[in-house]
A and B are shown apart, each in its own frame.
Chain A
Amino acid sequence: GQNIDQPTEMTATEGAIVQINCTYQTSGFNGLFWYQQHAGEAPTFLSYNVLDGLEEKGRFSSFLSRSKGYSYLLLKELQMKDSASYLCAVRGDSNYQLIWGAGTKLIIKP
């Protein structure tokens, strides 16, 4: 079957760094997405990885290892507004449909 695993909840301190991991087992791989979702809102796009390595975009970075079926989202200089759920999604065999993880709820404390 197809499966995406990520931690249910994480807690971090304002100003710190946090890494959210995502592991996947899918039939085929055509890219991995990270989305941020605040409560009651639709997800917003954060990053897209299709090749191995680290993609840096401001305070957020995303890493992919296809051989390990593993990705992480790294958030630096955490701000209170970063409190949200972070969804990992993989594009498997289909070019359009995504397989979604359940999301990681990130709680930022002062």
Chain B
Amino acid sequence: GAVVSQHPSRVICKSGTSVKIECRSLDFQATTMFWYRQFPKQSLMLMATSNEGSKATYEQGVEKDKFLINHASLTLSTLTVTSAHPEDSSFYICSATTGGPNEKLFFGSGTQLSVL
């Protein structure tokens, strides 16, 4: 089946630094990728929709200058958390859609970000 690889799985950083998270579709081309964050015991919250070759579409309340998304190719999207603060600590998950008539979403394994 389709595989989405997400790295790193866990990162601990100091407040004020930037962190980049990569999301790759390994065996299919993903024209659209999604970035979610999930706080403990809460539902997934969509942050932005990333389309290859164009600017990402951010959900209301998500700062585009803080969460930089780059979808440079059909298999790679990156999320950069700039000037991270402790309140940015969360579980970040990417997903990619296979497209086509039997379209499915597949998820990366997630990245646990802890900002000290």
Contact = CB atoms under 8 A, between A and B. Distances in A.
Contacts of B32: 96
B29 interface: no
Contacts of A48: 104
Interface stretch (B40-48, B61-69, B70-78): B40-48
A100 B44 contact: yes
Nearest to B92: A42
Contacts of B42: 102
Contact of A43 (B46, B49, B107): B107
Interface residues of B, number: 21
A103 B42 CA distance: 8
Interface of B: 6, 32, 34, 42-46, 49, 91, 93, 97, 103-110, 112
Interface of A: 33, 35, 40-45, 48, 87, 95-98, 100-103
18 contacts: A33-B105, A40-B110, A40-B112, A41-B109, A42-B6, A42-B93, A42-B108, A42-B110, A43-B44, A45-B107, A87-B44, A96-B32, A96-B49, A96-B97, A97-B49, A100-B44, A102-B43, A103-B43
